[in-house]
Amino acid sequence: MSATTVPANLYAAVQKRRNRGLTGLYLVVAAFLVVYAILFPGLLSVGGFSKFTQNWFPLALVTMAQALMMLNGGISLAIGPMVSLGAVIAAVTMGGPLGVLGGLIAVSVAGLFIGAVTGGIVAYLRLPAIIVTLAGSFIITGIALILLPRPGGYIPDWFSDLLAGHTPVAFGLLVLLLIGWKLYLATPLGLGIYAAGNNPVGAFRSGVPVERVKVFAFALSGLLAALAGLFVAAQTGSGDPVIGTPFTLNSIAGAVLGGVAFLGGKGTMRGVICGSLLLSVMINVMFFLGFPPVAQYVAQGLIIVGAVAIPQLTSQWRAKP
Amino acid sequence: MHLSGSENSRRRRGLLMGVAAASMLVAGSGAASAAANCIQGDREAPYTIGWANIYSVPTWMKQTEGTIAAEVEELKKAGLVDDLMITDAQGNAQTQIQHIQSMIDANVDAIVVIAGSSNALDRVISDACDKGIAVVNFDSLVNTDKVTAKINTDSGEWGAAAAQWMVDQLGGEGKIIVMNGPAGISVSDDRRKGAQPVLDANPGIEILTETNTEYNVAPAQEAMTSLLFANPEIDGVLSLGGALSAGSVLAFDRQGREQVPTTGENARQFLELWKEKGLEGWATMQPNWLGALSVYAAVQALEGKDVPAFIKVPLPVIGDDTIDGYLARADQFPADGYIYSDYDRALFDKLLAQ
């Protein structure tokens, strides 16, 4: 950064604008966490914190994956199948000659490759992401079922214990990911995501390689979803070819809760993380409050609508003279 | 409304029981010595029970939850249980893991579970077992043996018993149609596989054709209707699921064909048609009271009793001689529900003593 104060002010202004509308969500999430900690004080112990963050971690990853797509102005229906495929590849390879490292590479390559191919089709053939990922979801589900027709496979115990044992490794990884995201945003391709998502023509005229930005964003999205699958496999100690299915809708819910706009170019990863955290902590809080299952369905819907509506209402109220 | 509820429940159960059958091979080892598995002897009555359901919407699940709640009420009166926590993972195995983790965090004394995935729950269930929580798993089973008990019926026996009844009914000679659930669903495959040895041993039984449909009345009726046009002579319908049989009976009825011996499950609709049309029938069931039995087994284990690691529940059979007893209780069950056999403590004690 140069010595002048203008860029710093600009940065602060941009950040302030991005945080606007998220204050409500932050408060809701904080309130839920406080209630949860009161109901279950064990949350504040290392073991309790680790287990809670482990259950949240894969959802946080897929929500980030979905947010990457939505920032591009698209939506992915292949997130869940990608999680399943990641879990299956991990469970099939890690017990074999490739070992854990080989499995990790195989999962990452599969995620990046499928994401990049999807991104290429969307960017260069100008097809809507929702259609391409819908088709992709069938293909990916099929591949996962071919690789592992029934739940099974094997993940070494030490790897499961490392990622999903009694230490907060998953949370540490999430922090690293967020730092990584910040760094990515400092690169031309990262910066381009917002520009291309918000105003593709304007971005193109300003010299942003719009297509390449898309392909990279899609590839990263695929990588995140596949890694979420890897984590799920480690957490469960095995692979299941359909375990990811519910993640598709949950990732959209989390991203929308986190303030990511459907039309692209608007949203922040910190919001997205909070959105997924709310979805996850809500389940535990309702459990400890002893909500019967039927009430949980209703409460879940109300919380989501509330978390989205409150910022809208407050901004309208602020806008009034 | 009626049909879709029924369809959902059948499909769900198909999946669940498929998983169950797959894991059954793994189960059964590791009989408990003095105390049952997982029990450390440091928990005292009254106990808190957690019921971790994978999906609560289908009728079969609602009825099963009913038997669990009723059993808990009984145990409350005896001062053995003070609370029942119920969760519904809405079909999401990942959420079910989270729920079971929360039950461990809440330090419940027992967890009763129908698994949403045969192996996804293995680690969290092992954790619960390590904490001395009595874990009883029924209907759809997990892979791990670190549970107090697994409880289920046998899908292979189901198919074999249905086929045997059909052979006996036809005197070993006749043309039959076999109605299966969806292809590729384990429970459907396992029941069909169970029937095969019996059919092989009786070459006089000719299979005209087989159907694969959802476990639902409408598609079964449609499939049977077209088969009735193609086959003027049908001596029996070997149907391996309750709603399928109801569809078959309705198809025969609409075509004005005479009813033939039909097998099925304890779906209320089938049992009522069976009596109404006066056909020769046979049915068995996946009893809803497996839920109540699981709660009872968990409490027995916590009380220091020996509980077998695998409890195989014999299939209750409904025949022409016993159907009246079932239909007399029909009004206590939902219209799209399952009329399960009567159960009591004596039956549970007998099953636990095996």
How many alpha carbons lie under 13 Å from residue A285 in its C-beta half-sphere? 20
Residue A242's nearest CA partner among A137, A154, A93, A161 is A137
Residue A85's nearest CA partner among A246, A236, A225 is A225
Does the beta-carbon distance from A293 to B93 stay under 8 Å? no
Question: Residue range B49-75: average pLDDT?
Answer: 92
* Residue B174, strand partner residues: B205
Residues B236 and B127 in one domain: no
* Residue B111, strand partner residues: B50, B135
Determine which of A240-254, B182-196, B309-323 has the lowest per-residue pLDDT on average: B182-196
Distance to chain B for A209, nearest Cα, Å: 39
H or E element in which residue B263 lies: strand B262-265
User: Residue B41, Cβ neighbours under 10 Å: how many?
Assistant: 10
Looking at the predicted structure, is the pLDDT value of residue A314 above 90? no
Distance to chain A for B97, nearest Cα, Å: 8
Looking at the predicted structure, is the pLDDT value of residue B4 above 50? no
Residue B320 counted as domain residue:
no
Looking at the predicted structure, is the pLDDT value of residue B46 above 70? yes
| DSSP state letters, A142-177 | HHHHHH-SSSB----HHHHHHHHSSSTHHHHHHHHH
Q: Is residue A240 within 8 angstroms of chain B, CB to CB?
A: yes
Residue B354 counted as domain residue:
no
Percent over 90 (pLDDT), chain A: 61
Burial of B263 (0-12, 13-18, 19+ CB in 10 A): buried
N residues, chain A:
321
- Report which residue type is found at B12: R
Question: Residue range B156-166: average pLDDT?
Answer: 95
Residue-wise pLDDT for B225-271, tens only, equals: 999 999 999 999 999 986 899 999 999 999 999 999 999 999 999 99
Percent over 70 (pLDDT), chain B: 89
Residues B52 and B74 in one domain: yes
pLDDT for position B184: 63
Residues B132 and B228 in one domain: no
User: Residue B224, Cβ neighbours under 10 Å: how many?
Assistant: 27
Question: Residue range A211-236: average pLDDT?
Answer: 95
Close Cβ partners of A239 (under 8 Å, ≥ 6 residues apart): A87, A88, A89, A90, A91, A92, A148, A151, A152, A153, A155, A233
- Report which residue type is found at B43: R
Cα–Cα distance for residue pair B66/A188, rounded to 1 Å:
60
Q: Is residue A309 within 8 angstroms of chain B, CB to CB?
A: no
Looking at the predicted structure, is the pLDDT value of residue B153 above 70? yes
- Hey, CA dihedral for B100, B102, B105, B108, is it positive or negative? negative
Residue B244's nearest CA partner among B267, B215, B271 is B215
Tokens 């509330």: give the residue. A306
pLDDT for position A8: 65
Question: Residue range A165-184: average pLDDT?
Answer: 94
CA angle B337, B339, B343 (to 5 degrees): 130
* Tokens standing for residue B55: 């999906």
| DSSP state letters, B21-60 | HHHHTT-S----SSSPTT--S---SSEEEEEEES---SHH
Distance to chain A for B301, nearest Cα, Å: 25
Contact B272, B339 (CB under 8 A): no
Residue A99 CA: distances (Å) to CA of A94, A113, A143, A235: 5, 21, 21, 17
pTM: 0.84
Q: Which of A43, A55, A287 sits opposite B87 (nearest CB)?
A: A287
Looking at the predicted structure, is the pLDDT value of residue A21 above 90? no
Domain final position from B263, B284, B305? B284
Residues B256 and B189 in one domain: yes
pLDDT for position A307: 78
- Report which residue type is found at B57: V
Q: Is residue A283 within 8 angstroms of chain B, CB to CB?
A: yes
Q: Which residues of A touch B90 (CB under 8 A)?
A: 246, 297
Residues B118 and B192 in one domain: no
Residue B251 counted as domain residue:
yes
Residues B266 and B160 in one domain: yes
Does the beta-carbon distance from B106 to A296 stay under 8 Å? no
Does the beta-carbon distance from A236 to B91 stay under 8 Å? no
Looking at the predicted structure, is the pLDDT value of residue B289 above 80? yes
Residues B162 and B294 in one domain: no
Residue B119's nearest CA partner among B93, B147, B98, B101 is B93
Q: Which of A232, A288, A293 sits opposite B56 (nearest CB)?
A: A293
Give percent helix, percent strand, percent coil of chain B, each to the nearest 5: 45, 15, 35
Burial of B262 (0-12, 13-18, 19+ CB in 10 A): buried
Residue B275 counted as domain residue:
yes
pLDDT for position B215: 82
Q: pLDDT class for A7, splitting at 50, 70, 90?
A: low
Residues B169 and B86 in one domain: no
Distance to chain B for A56, nearest Cα, Å: 9
N residues, chain B:
354
Residue of B nearest to A235 (CA): B123
pLDDT for position B32: 39
Residues B243 and B301 in one domain: no
Q: Which of A152, A236, A240 sits opposite B123 (nearest CB)?
A: A236
What are residue A194's phi and psi, to 5 degrees?
A: -65, -45
Residue-wise pLDDT for B188-206, tens only, equals: 888 999 999 999 999 999 9
Considering chain A, what is the average pLDDT of its residues? Answer: 89
Residue of B nearest to A289 (CA): B85
In chain A, the domains with their CATH numbers are: 21-311 (1.10.3470)
Q: Is residue A280 within 8 angstroms of chain B, CB to CB?
A: yes
Q: What is the total count of domains within chain B?
A: 2
Distance to chain A for B51, nearest Cα, Å: 11
Q: Which residues of B touch A (CB under 8 A)?
A: 19, 22, 53, 56, 85-88, 90-95, 97-99, 101-103, 105-106, 117-123, 143
| DSSP state letters, B311-345 | EEPPPP-B-TTTHHHHHHTGGGS-TTSB-PPP--H
Residues B149 and B294 in one domain: yes
Cα–Cα distance for residue pair A155/A236, rounded to 1 Å:
9
Close Cβ partners of B155 (under 8 Å, ≥ 6 residues apart): B17, B20, B21, B186, B187, B190, B191, B194
Looking at the predicted structure, is the pLDDT value of residue B23 above 50? no
Q: Which residues of A touch B117 (CB under 8 A)?
A: 151, 236, 240, 243
Residue-wise pLDDT for A24-80, tens only, equals: 888 889 999 999 999 999 999 999 999 999 999 999 999 999 999 999 888 999 999
Residue B333 counted as domain residue:
no
User: Residue B92, Cβ neighbours under 10 Å: how many?
Assistant: 22
Looking at the predicted structure, is the pLDDT value of residue A313 above 90? no
Residue B132 counted as domain residue:
yes
Residues B29 and B16 in one domain: yes
pLDDT for position B241: 80
Residues B128 and B250 in one domain: no
**Residue B145 belongs to domain with CATH number:** 3.40.50.2300
Tokens 């698994």: give the residue. B115
- Report which residue type is found at B282: W
Range of the domain at B51: 2-153+287-313
How big is chain B by its Cα radius of gyration, in Å?
21
